[in-house]
Structure 1
Amino acid sequence: MIKKLKLIFATDFTDAADNAMEYGIQFSKDLVGDNVEGILVHAHKHFVPYSNTPAIPVIENDSLKEELKDKLDERVNSLKNRLDVKQVFQRGNVTEVIKKLVDEEEPDMIIMGTRERGSFERMTLGTHTAEVIKKINCPVLAVPKEAQYKGVNNITLTADNESLNVNNKSLTLLKDFASRENIKFNVLHVFEDGKNKDLKAEMKNTALHRYISNIDHEHKPIADMEAFEGIIKYIDEDRPDLLMAIPRNRNFLKDLFHSSVSTKLIYHTQIPVLLLIDR
């Protein structure tokens, strides 16, 4: 059981990053009370604007650097009465900075915003969230800009029928979230190609089912659909508070939020995604 959570909050000072930080704090305090330790990190580069294309790095700009540092100080100071927090301000690629921090601090989770729509915002935190998930071995809570925390009482885990090969930190998060009182916990399986066998029997013969057998849960099959179409269909119908996933393919979040079948999800849902990590 988790007794304390150490979190990395990645910020680029956009509304999406601020909202993800607020969501992550409330989300974590619901699980472990005041036993939350935070690290607020900003990885900075200096840019010159150029139309709607990604910005071009330029030489060190001391005044901009001070402005960014002041913004980070402001956010850290605003959090000090809510949790034990420290800051990391480092120049470099966001993913590389966070990876180094994960290696040093061994956090339980990374909190990041996603789905910004402006040209500048699209090339910053939203893009980096998918990159962090792809390259860093730590659970990531990806929070849409529109998400407002109202408690997490309805959780859906997307699963396949492969062997359960998940790191211990992710397994602990999974079990702790799913075993809370008054939680509706569903395990979603999407089957392709018109399978006619007993889907429930197949689902209950998985390592995942055996691992959570002592937790109240239901298996939800969706047949004759591709994975992302099935996930989106289920989310639209059931409206869980949180989607948990174990992405075998580290492009999962990019595919889920940016594939052609997920346009409706991008613009009409407010559901955070907790990406657990396979080995």
Structure 2
Amino acid sequence: MIKILVPVTFTDHSINALTYALTLAGKFPSTVTLLHSFSEYEDIEEGMNAMPPNSEEDIQKREQDARDRLADLCQSAINKMTSLQDKNIELENRFEFGYAEEVILKVSKDMDPDVIIMGTKSKGETIKELLGSVTSDVMRRASVPVLAVPATSTVDLEKLSRVLFITDFGDADYISVHKLIRLITPFQTRINAVRFQAHQPDNTEIRRMEKFRDYCDATYRNHKIKSNFEQSEQFMDSLEKYVTENNIDLIAMTRRKRNMIARLFTPEITRRILFYTDVPLLVFHA
């Protein structure tokens, strides 16, 4: 049984993520939980408020509207599953009070899902939007895998044929690749495990890659996993070129903890990938 948590905000990119989640869930016996967080201090959508902002009556109206929209979205998902005669999915919804990021993390801790699937805006959103996005913050703080689905991502999991696993062939990646394979087992997927770096690999790095390759060959015999290096001084340019040339359908990687100084002065790789690509990004945590 696969458990999937899908935070929803009723935006187009949120609905796209839900569609992606239902398509993935249909490949397993699974439970999909739709989660909406409501805060009385959130900005009020245009055209919804006839009363002064944050008055008690206004808050009650917005809360009821959100509950109704969540129920409608859940029913729409049920109708879609019925039309597909999909009986593998159990669907439920949760309505929680609080700020989105904190609610998602709390519910995730309670239910321990196999993956959180969230929508993001498209490639090219502003740095301000990116740094302040709930998806980016959840990726940074969650303890379970998080899959970010861009608004323009084509939802066609029948053709999930190539996955790029960004790696340094370290110990944490053995755990991540195990979780990755668990999620993609129903698909005929090839995994390209690649370390991007600016220099030629030395003997130590080559031996570490060979150890990872041999482990995958012995452990996951029914899966095609290729391990190699990509040399480039410009990581994002190299990544974008690799994704395009190899028709990558999904990018996966392990997020490692960084100290405060590094977080202040160096944009972390997950946020850079969210900003520069329209390919879904699956992040595991070391």
One-letter identity of the residue aligned with 1:210: Y
Distance of 2:61 and 2:115 partners within structure 1: 32
Match of 1:43 among 32, 37, 47: 37
Moved over 6 A (4+): none
Quote the Cα distance in structure 1 between the aligned partners of 2:16 and 2:229: 33
CA contact (8 A) 1:166 1:277 kept: no
Q: TM-score of the superposition, structure 1-length normalised?
A: 0.78
Distance 2:163 2:237 in 1: 19
Alignment counterpart, residue 18 of structure 1, candidates 15, 18, 24 = 15
Query: By how many angstroms is 1:59 displaced?
Result: 4.9
1:140 counterpart residue number? 146
- The equivalent position to 1:63 in structure 2, one of 61, 65, 70, is 61
Say if 1:104 and 1:125 are closer, same or farther in 2 by CA, change over 3 A.
farther
- Maintained 8 Å contact 1:17/1:112: yes
- Structure with bigger gyration radius: 2
Residue matched to 1:93: 99
Distance in 2 between residues matched to 1:117 and 1:212, nearest whole Å: 35
2:167 counterpart residue number: 159
Deviates more, 1:170-179 or 1:13-22: 170-179
Instruction: Tell me whether 1:277 sits opposite 2:285 in the alignment.
Output: yes
Q: 1:197 to 1:224 in 2, by over 3 A?
A: farther
**Paired position in structure 2 for 1:218:** 226
Give 1:17 deviation, angstroms.
Answer: 0.3
Letter in 2 for 1:6: K
Q: 1:275 to 1:123 in 2, by over 3 A?
A: same
Distance 1:166 1:43 in 2: 34
Can you list the C-alpha shifts for 1:115-141, whole angstroms capped at 9, x where unaligned? 25899xx86998110010101101111
Question: How does 1:66-85 map onto structure 2 within 5 Å?
Answer: 66-80=64-78, 82=81, 83-85=89-91
Distance 1:112 1:58 in 2: 27
1:47/1:58 contact within 8 Å kept: no
- Sort the Cα spacing of 1:95 and 1:176 in 2 relative to 1 into closer, same or farther, 3 A: same
Secondary structure, in 3 states, of the residue corresponding to 1:189? strand
CA pair 41-178 structure 1, distance change in 2 beyond 3 A = closer
Question: Judging changes above 3 Å, is the alpha-carbon distance between structure 1 residues 254 and 59 closer, same or farther for their aligned structure 2 residues?
Answer: farther
Specify the alignment match of 1:54 in structure 2.
Answer: none
Distance 1:200 1:180 in 2: 31
- Residue 238 of structure 1 corresponds to which residue in structure 2? 246
Deviations 1:126-174 (A, max 9, x none): 811001010110111110111122221111111013322676xx55432
SS at match of 2:10: coil
- The answer to whether residue 260 in structure 2 is matched with residue 254 in structure 1 is no
The 1:117–1:165 alpha-carbon spacing in structure 2 relative to 1, beyond 3 Å, is: closer
Q: Which segment is superposed worse, 188-197 or 88-97?
A: 188-197
Q: Which shifted more, 99-108 or 172-181?
A: 172-181
SS at match of 1:193: coil
Deviation for aligned residue 1:244:
1.1
In structure 2, relative to structure 1, the CA distance for the partners of 1:111 and 1:179 (3 Å cut) is closer
Unpaired segments of 5 or more residues in structure 2?
47-52, 82-88, 259-267
Q: Is the 8 A contact 1:243 1:274 kept in 2?
A: yes
| Counterpart in the other structure of 1:53 | none
Shifted more, 249-258 versus 218-227: the winner is 249-258
Distance 1:21 1:252 in 2: 25
Task: Give the 3 Å change call, closer, same or farther, for CA 70–274 of structure 1 in structure 2.
Answer: same
- Determine if the alignment matches structure 1 residue 7 to structure 2 residue 4: yes
Question: What amino acid sits opposite 2:43 in the alignment?
Answer: F
Aligned residues of 1:112 and 1:125 also touching (Cα < 8 A): no
Correspondences of 1:166-185 after superposition (within 5 Å): 170=176, 172-177=178-183, 182-185=188-191
Deviation at 1:237, TM superposition (A): 1.5
Amino acid paired to 2:137: E
Segment of structure 1 superposing worse, 222-231 or 171-180: 171-180
RMSD: 3.1
Determine the C-alpha separation between the residues in 1 that align with 2:245 and 2:257. Answer: 25
Q: 1:171 to 1:185 in 2, by over 3 A?
A: closer
Q: How many residues align?
A: 252
Quick one: structure 1 residues 179 and 8, their matched pair in 2 at CA, closer, same or farther if it must change by over 3 Å?
closer
Between the aligned residues of both structures, percent identity stands at: 21
